[in-house]
Amino acid sequence: MRTIETFFVVLILLGTLVFSLQFAVLPQPRVISSQNLQDLALTSIQTLDAEGELRRTIFDPTNDSSWAELENVLSSSLPPDIVFNLTVFDIVTSSQGFITYRFVHSISSAEDNLGVGSEGIAYLLTTSNTTFMKTPKKVTKTLYILNCDDSNGWWITGYTGQTLATDLYNLLSPYVKTTVLVNSTYQLGLLLDNTTLQGETLQDAVLINTFGEAVPIPTSYANMYPRDSYAEYCYQLGKRVNLYNWTWVSIVGYPFYYVTNTVFFASTQNGWGIYGMKDVESAGLNSFLRGLNYPSYPSYSYDGTWITGSPGVVQFTLNASYYSNYYGIYPSPYQTSTRALPTDILSDYHLSVLPKSYIFQVVNNSWIAGATFNHKGSDDKIHGSFTAIGLTRTPDVRVSALAILMYYNPKLFSSEFTLADTSRLVLLQLVKLGGA
């Protein structure tokens, strides 16, 4: 009895299946094929582009033998049951801004059109010699780079101040309205006396000292301010930075540790055999900061306290890493600092640091290895700034360049790119032989 019941159940199920198949819409054979033609087309064309075959050929004359070579390469790379049609179009932009596509050439492994059953992808290619440019919006300030031919540097081992000046000029001049090389201590004296060199704007300028721990001194100032091994000169520098609202940039080491003038100090050396240079020692930096903090320090006074620290390896801030990529300037994000400034100077000299201008992370809330310090006067306005890169030698001026760009943040604008004559559209269509 159970055998008969089972037989009838199977019979009913088979009948239901046969009845359902009468109304079912079955997919075409090519659809249930495991091959995805669009993926195959994209993979094929990307491979040709990566190998350079495609980009070289589609901009060649249509009678060039490279087209036949491309056809052979494409045929051999596809499965034997796949035929293709590759069509190239020029991209034409009208004066009204409308884009149209103009037929250039096609190659195919099919005798006739592939028909509506084909699948494919479109791929945009530019010529290999196309250059994409970014144009900076220039900072409307004057950039002075000390290039004094009568000065020697210290802690710039392997370089001279003059070679570093050239490097900084190449790095930064595209970003500022006016860049001026200060070619002698005499010219520096003119600037300190409020006299321009080329009719440029002197107020609010940026001055980069490329001589490391040494600072050039004009002969006139060497005669005026010899007190305490010229620490008083450093005080006067700080006052000028305050007065003219300059940003003074020290690229490495302990700032203002020496003064240099190879004529005035021709017979004087710094204790390490470098002539044309005289020790100021730690009083130079303290004197500069006091001058920058004028009128809190209305007159010069000596302070020889050593204030920098040696936190060791320091790391870029996230902001520095971002702008390193933004401007395409890539110093190592890890540096060694042996001359970091203490955070105490912020309160001692009415200084502040904008979050955007920290180059390195502050170490133990105590040491600032690289940043731009702004001095605020009683009117709560900025009166002079000081960018100090307290790293060990040898200097990487890309850090200094990045510091300036981070602080002034000139915007970059991508250049307009015209598609005509530089880009072509490639359409690759595939069809599987034997499909419905």
In a domain, 22, yes or no: no
In a domain, 186, yes or no: yes
Instruction: Enumerate the H helices of 302-353 as residue ranges.
Output: 318-327, 344-348
Structure tokens at 277: 């240079």
The enclosing domain of 263 has a CATH number of 3.40.50
**Is 151 found in the same domain as 81?**
no
**Do residues 254 and 285 touch, judged by C-beta distance below 8 A?**
yes
The pLDDT of residue 92 is: 81
In a domain, 3, yes or no: no
The pLDDT of residue 37 is: 86
The pLDDT of residue 8 is: 53
Q: What is the pLDDT of residues 145-202, one digit of tens each?
A: 999 999 999 999 999 999 999 999 999 999 999 999 999 999 999 999 999 999 999 9
**Is 182 found in the same domain as 62?**
no
The enclosing domain of 54 has a CATH number of 3.30.1140
**Is 298 found in the same domain as 206?**
yes
**Is 161 found in the same domain as 74?**
no
The pLDDT of residue 115 is: 67
Q: Which residues contact 95 (CB under 8 A, 6 or more apart)?
A: none
Phi-psi region of 93 (alpha: psi -120 to 50; beta: other; left: phi over 0): beta
3-state SS, residue 404:
helix
Flag residues of the chain having pLDDT under 50.
17-21, 23-34, 419-420, 436
**Do residues 188 and 182 touch, judged by C-beta distance below 8 A?**
yes
Whole-Å CA distances, 266 to 274, 275, 399: 10, 6, 32
Q: What is the pLDDT of residues 204-251, one digit of tens each?
A: 999 999 999 999 999 999 999 999 999 999 999 999 999 999 999 999
In a domain, 8, yes or no: no
In a domain, 311, yes or no: yes
The pLDDT of residue 120 is: 85
**Is 77 found in the same domain as 145?**
no
Does this model's pTM top 0.85? My answer is: no
Pairing of strands 382-389, 247-250: parallel
In a domain, 385, yes or no: yes
In a domain, 2, yes or no: no
DSSP summary character for residue 411: -
The pLDDT of residue 374 is: 98
**Is 155 found in the same domain as 295?**
yes
* Phi–psi pair at 314, nearest 5 degrees: -120, 160
CA–CA separation, 142 and 202 (whole Å): 7
Q: Which residues contact 429 (CB under 8 A, 6 or more apart)?
A: 41, 84, 85, 86, 87, 114, 118, 119, 120
**Is 141 found in the same domain as 89?**
no
**Is 152 found in the same domain as 116?**
no
**Is 312 found in the same domain as 360?**
yes
The pLDDT of residue 113 is: 74
**Is 225 found in the same domain as 108?**
no
- Give the count of domains, the chain: 2
Shortest CA distance to 420 belongs to which of 149, 63, 101, 113?
A: 101
Which residue segment(s) compose the domain that 166 sits in? 134-414
In a domain, 248, yes or no: yes
The pLDDT of residue 26 is: 46
**Is 160 found in the same domain as 52?**
no
**Is 115 found in the same domain as 175?**
no
Q: Rounded to a whole number, what is the distance in angstroms from the first to the last CA of the chain? A: 49
Whole-Å CA distances, 188 to 149, 150, 185, 220, 311: 11, 11, 5, 11, 34
